[in-house]
Amino acid sequence: MGGPAVAVAAAAAALALLLGAVLGRPDPPPGAAAAAAAARRCAAPCRCLGDLLDCSRRRLARLPEALPPRVARLDLSHNRLSFIKANSMSHLQNLREVKLNNNELETIPNLGPVSANITLLSLAGNRIVEILPEHLKQFQSLETLDLSSNNISELKTPLPPLQLKYLYINSNRVTSMEPGYFDNLANTLLVLKLNRNRISAIPPKMFKLPQLQHLELNRNKIKNVDGLTFQGLGALKSLKMQRNGVTKLMDGAFWGLSNMEVLQLDHNNLTEITKGWLYGLLMLQELHLSQNAINRISPDAWEFCQKLSELDLTFNHLSRLDDSSFLGLSLLNTLHIGNNKVSYIADCAFRGLSSLKTLDLKNNEISWTIEDMNGAFSGLDKLRRLILQGNRIRSITKKAFTGLDALEHLDLSDNAIMSLQGNAFSQMKKLQQLHLNTSSLLCDCQLKWLPQWVAENNFQSFVNASCAHPQLLKGRSIFAVSPDGFVCDDFPKPQITVQPETQSAIKGSNLSFICSAASSSDSPMTFAWKKDNELLHDAEMENYAHLRAQGGEVMEYTTILRLRNVEFASEGKYQCVISNHFGSSYSVKAKLTVNMLPSFTKTPMDLTIRAGAMARLECAALGHPAPQIAWQKDGGTDFPAARERRMHVMPEDDVFFIVDVKIEDIGVYSCTAQNSAGSISANATLTVLETPSFLRPLLDRTVTKGETAVLQCIAGGSPPPRLNWTKDDSPLVVTERHFFAAGNQLLIIVDSDVSDAGKYTCEMSNTLGTERGNVRLSVIPTPTCDSPQMTASSLDDDGWATVGVVIIAVVCCVVGTSLVWVVIIYHTRRRNEDCSITNTDETNLPADIPSYLSSQGTLADRQDGYISSESGSHHQFVTSSGGGFFLPQHDSNGKLDPFAQGLACLLSGTFGKPLKRAHLDAFSSFGQPVDCQPRAFHLKTRSSPDLDSESEEYGKERTDFQQENHTCTYKQTVENHRTPNFQSYDLDT
């Protein structure tokens, strides 16, 4: 408040003197004179400028005396001060800013009581080697402290609590910093500058400054930045780390800087941009990476920086811009990629940059992007400025700038452009400036449009273009050539005549691409091949030229690209480029596909599991293209498990599952791997094990004495269970009346007797267990019949009658081979003085036998555990190769019945062969002795017309057959034996 009062007093004194002079009063009041004198006084040799006392550059070695009390700002810079007395400024109550730059101070000076009022203290360019907290405690109002250009080497002891907002420690010798050094400034510090020091590493948790907005670390020696290095700077807006030589930014290096908007990393040694070190920069708007060594931008680099509006990548080592190089930067406004080595730009490299207004691609190696591609800049709907200055563009097609409808500024200067197709710029309706300077133009009829178009759009001041061909127009400006001067007398630029063709090849084979072009110029021709738009530097090529037309006006040039031992990496699109001094011609792109037959890496294995478990089959294959895996069951696509939603196929895991496996899942499973090169298959058999069980309930039976009794035990299980029968808990006594069919599932008792009654137990067993069931058989006595008609018809003259021949015919089919079961004929004769209860010669199986058993009825093998009857020692078993047996009838003397003798002999020779009626006709007589000597059959069938046609062929079969088996012939007829009509059955082996 003293400063304004003094000024008012001085003004009042001056006014009094003036009035005195005017009014004739030479002596002013004493107080007014003193005030005026004080107002005019300024400490020599300083200058007073309002509240500023400027004592800078006065070579002062000590503080001037009698400093005016009105001073608020004191500048003592560029002097020789090395010490300041503490009370020398005590009267400067208005002092707020003190500058002591470029003096010889070695410590922070003590300014006495006035220190508490100081808000700015600048001590740059002194000799201070250490910042001592006790020297700063007195500056309780200090907001700005500048300690730049001193000799401070470490930041060790934490600063005291101050109101500092701006702290500058630039250009010192700081090599190390201790965590917590700035912690006491956490609530106030806004700007921290540590530029031009010797800091090589930033300790973890170094900056706990939640209010800091700007941090500068330029020109240090920080090579690596670890993750979470800047944690604690949540309010930071900008970070500058230029010229450090940073080579590695670890993942999460800038995590925690979620509000940062500007990151400057220019002039370092970074080689790659990845999302790892950009993680957390959600609000970043400007990223400056010029003057690094960046050669790659990872595909997902910008995942966490999608609010970026300006990106500077100038002066790096980028050679390609892929379709994912700028993915996600929909808000990007300015993109600088100048002064790189970019020669490859993918078709969709800029797609997604919908907000881009400036694209700088100057001083790169771009050529074919403009010369050959259609719509390389598609997607840049808002682009205003496109800079292509200083590239290698030699020709411009009409579709080169497709999509740039909003473009206003196009710079094509410093390119040796030779040709421009008609209306190459016509779609850019808003174009205001076109910069073009070239002296290499091919001024033929195709360029006639350009001078007129440039003039109509008033672009003459930006275009400097002259002709290089034809020779007549060489060096002339296109604006000086009349429209009639642009003629097409020749075609010096190469023109493609033979295009390379698309091919497919097997891995490891060799192939070639052929391309030809013609030109009327003798300019040296160069050849190149590209794969997927990238130049093949080490390609094996053969080039030659020949005259295409008589007289030698046109030369045709051919280039052959040879690919040997092709691999999958050889796949792609191949294109030839033929160039001379007048430009380049690009062929179509021929696609190469490399195929490889699939090969299994996992094959399904045979599997045996219990029912109800889960079946797991694996199958995987390699091939090119990647093969498709398909499954089949038993050669078809009918999967019972699929219908019941128990089947699961997991292609990603190469696994085929069947849960809750059932018997119907048994089968052969085929895995097929197929691609365009072919297919392969592998099989695995699934076997399901199931404990034995009864498929049908066991039913008790009641039969009349003499009838045929059939006991059923229909068994299920896997593997098929083995069946065993017992009677009354004892081994079953087997007689000639007992037969077993369908794998012992049927117990057939012919001519049942009362003794056959009882409890029959069926026991089934396999590897998984055993199951038992009981059937009770009841036999009731034979009823009495007195019918004279029946008796008369069944008795002969002496009272004895031949009841007939009981024939049991059961057809057996062996599973898997369709073997027709053997015919077993049981013949019995008995005397009956009372009556006969049957009037048939055959015994039929009951109608309730399951159809699948009755159609496959058979007599099974004789079972272990059964015992013969008392007369069993007299029984004879005639076994056959078919696996069944025949129980023949014996007479009272124990001799074999003649009929049975013949049948037994026949079966012994022909069992398992087709049983024709010819065999059975042999039984028309039984009186002669049995002759089992080998001989051929030549018997004609009488009762089977259907077989007559086969007799001739069959006789031939018998001729071969007699060499292996005995043939039985019977010549005598026994009149008192009634022979039934025989049927023939084929045993299909």
* Residue 799 DSSP code: S
Residue 981, token pair as written in the block = 């009509």
Verify that 732 and 840 share a domain, yes or no: yes
pLDDT at 948 over 80: no
pLDDT by residue (tens digit) across 239-278?
Answer: 999 999 999 999 999 999 999 999 999 999 999 999 999 9
Whole-model pTM: value is 0.61
Closest by Cα among 930, 932, 924 to 897:
930
The β-bridge relationship of strands 73-75 and 52-54 is parallel
More confident position, 919 or 429:
429
Backbone conformation region of residue 752, classed left if phi is above 0, alpha if psi is from -120 to 50, else beta: beta
Helix (H) or strand (E) holding 12: helix 2-23
How many domains are there within the chain?
A: 5
What's residue 40's pLDDT? 52
What's residue 645's pLDDT? 85
Residue 611, token pair as written in the block = 């029912």
What's residue 810's pLDDT? 34
C-alpha distances out from residue 529 to 512, 514, 536, 538, 578, Å: 12, 11, 6, 10, 9
Q: Give DSSP secondary structure letters for 44-104.
A: TT-EEETTEEE-TTS--SSPPSS--TT-SEEE--SS------TTTTTT-TT--EEE--SS-
Closest by Cα among 40, 44, 99 to 70:
40
What's residue 551's pLDDT? 53
CA dihedral 124, 125, 128, 131 (to 10 degrees): 20
What does the pLDDT average to over 588-597? Answer: 91
More confident position, 960 or 367:
367
The end-to-end CA distance of the chain, in Å, is 131
**Among residues of the chain, what percentage have pLDDT more than 70?**
74
E strand segments, 781-857: 807-808, 824-825
More confident position, 666 or 920:
666
C-alpha distances out from residue 810 to 45, 609, 854, 857, 988, Å: 143, 35, 8, 4, 14
Band of the pLDDT at 225, cuts 50, 70, 90? very high
Closest by Cα among 487, 533, 177 to 348:
533
CA 517/CA 582 separation, integer angstroms? 14
Q: Is residue 63 part of a domain?
A: no
* Residue 897 DSSP code: P
Q: Is residue 908 part of a domain?
A: yes
* Residue 842 DSSP code: B
pLDDT by residue (tens digit) across 705-722?
Answer: 888 989 889 988 888 888
Band of the pLDDT at 523, cuts 50, 70, 90? confident
CATH number, residue 505: 2.60.40.10
Q: Is residue 814 part of a domain?
A: yes
Do 803 and 837 contact (CB within 8 A), yes or no?
Answer: no
Which of 593, 623, 652 is the last residue in one of the domains?
Answer: 593
pLDDT at 615 over 70: yes
Helix (H) or strand (E) holding 794: helix 788-794
What's residue 185's pLDDT? 95
pLDDT at 390 over 90: yes
**Among residues of the chain, what percentage have pLDDT more than 90?**
45
Verify that 954 and 905 share a domain, yes or no: yes
pLDDT at 93 over 60: yes
Verify that 822 and 776 share a domain, yes or no: yes
Which of 665, 690, 715 is the last residue in one of the domains?
Answer: 690
Q: Is residue 926 part of a domain?
A: yes
Query: Helix 2-23 and helix 30-40: axis angle, to 10°?
Result: 120
Band of the pLDDT at 491, cuts 50, 70, 90? confident
Do 615 and 608 contact (CB within 8 A), yes or no?
Answer: no
Q: What is the 3-state secondary structure (H, E, C) of 320-346?
A: EECCCCCCCCCCCCEEECCCCCCCEEC
CA 711/CA 705 separation, integer angstroms? 15
CA 833/CA 548 separation, integer angstroms? 121
C-alpha distances out from residue 319 to 368, 534, 570, 757, Å: 14, 11, 21, 101
Band of the pLDDT at 134, cuts 50, 70, 90? very high
Verify that 528 and 554 share a domain, yes or no: yes
Q: Is residue 913 part of a domain?
A: yes
What does the pLDDT average to over 679-704? Answer: 89
Residue 802, token pair as written in the block = 């031949």
What's residue 553's pLDDT? 73
Verify that 865 and 730 share a domain, yes or no: yes
Q: How many CB atoms lie within 10 A of CB 603?
A: 17
Closest by Cα among 293, 306, 226 to 265:
293
More confident position, 252 or 955:
252
What's residue 136's pLDDT? 94
Q: Rank 357-371, 932-946, 968-982 by mean pLDDT and report only the highest.
A: 357-371
pLDDT by residue (tens digit) across 530-587?
Answer: 998 888 988 899 998 887 765 557 888 899 999 999 998 999 999 999 988 888 889 9
With 0-12 / 13-18 / 19 or more C-beta atoms within 10 angstroms meaning exposed / middle / buried, residue 154 is middle
What's residue 936's pLDDT? 35
What's residue 347's pLDDT? 84
pLDDT at 917 over 70: no
CA 472/CA 482 separation, integer angstroms? 13
Verify that 732 and 853 share a domain, yes or no: yes
What does the pLDDT average to over 326-345? Answer: 95
pLDDT by residue (tens digit) across 732-779?
Answer: 888 888 888 887 888 899 988 888 898 899 989 888 788 888 999 898
Do 238 and 261 contact (CB within 8 A), yes or no?
Answer: yes
Q: Give DSSP secondary structure letters for 529-544.
A: EEETTEE-TT-EEEEE
pLDDT at 976 over 50: no
| Region of poorest pLDDT, from 172-176, 256-260, 314-318, 466-470 | 466-470
Verify that 585 and 611 share a domain, yes or no: no
List residues bridging with 681 in a β-sheet: 672
Band of the pLDDT at 982, cuts 50, 70, 90? very low
What's residue 859's pLDDT? 45
Q: How many CB atoms lie within 10 A of CB 975?
A: 7
CA atoms within 13 A on the CB side of 583: 32
Q: Rank 207-221, 579-593, 925-939 by mean pLDDT and report only the highest.
A: 207-221
CA 427/CA 419 separation, integer angstroms? 18
Verify that 585 and 612 share a domain, yes or no: no
What's residue 512's pLDDT? 94
Mean model confidence pLDDT for the chain: 78
Q: How many CB atoms lie within 10 A of CB 249?
A: 23
Verify that 815 and 751 share a domain, yes or no: yes
Helix (H, G, I), strand (E, B) or coil at 462: helix
Verify that 836 and 959 share a domain, yes or no: no
pLDDT at 833 over 70: no
Q: Is residue 530 part of a domain?
A: yes
More confident position, 178 or 624:
178
Band of the pLDDT at 956, cuts 50, 70, 90? very low
What does the pLDDT average to over 807-831? Answer: 36
Closest by Cα among 34, 82, 84 to 74:
84
User: Angle at Cα 118 formed by Cα 117 and Cα 121, nearest 5°?
Assistant: 170
Verify that 731 and 859 share a domain, yes or no: yes
Q: What is the 3-state secondary structure (H, E, C) of 926-963?
A: CCCCCECCCCCCCCCCCCCHHHHHHHHHHHHHHHHHCC
Do 934 and 908 contact (CB within 8 A), yes or no?
Answer: no
What's residue 719's pLDDT? 84
Q: Give DSSP secondary structure letters for 117-179.
A: G--EEE-TTS------HHHHTT-TT--EEE--SS---EE-SPPPP---SEEE--SS---EE-T
User: Angle at Cα 845 formed by Cα 843 and Cα 846, nearest 5°?
Assistant: 125
Verify that 986 and 938 share a domain, yes or no: yes
Rounded to 5 degrees, φ, ψ at 774 are -115, 145
Residue 591, token pair as written in the block = 């696609």
More confident position, 462 or 973:
462
Give residue 890's identity as a one-letter amino acid code.
H
What's residue 596's pLDDT? 87
Q: Is residue 29 part of a domain?
A: yes
CA 416/CA 582 separation, integer angstroms? 10
What's residue 66's pLDDT? 82
pLDDT by residue (tens digit) across 857-905?
Answer: 444 444 444 444 433 333 333 333 333 333 333 443 444 444 334 433 3
pLDDT at 30 over 80: no
What's residue 636's pLDDT? 87
More confident position, 304 or 625:
304
What sign does the dihedral 621-625-626-627 (CA atoms) show? Answer: negative
Range of the domain at 26: 2-38
Q: What is the largest CA-CA distance in the chain?
A: 200
Which of 872, 899, 926 is the last residue in one of the domains?
Answer: 872
Beta carbons within 8 Å of 538's beta carbon, 6+ residues apart:
none
CA 820/CA 674 separation, integer angstroms? 42
Q: Is residue 937 part of a domain?
A: yes
Residue 280, token pair as written in the block = 């957390």
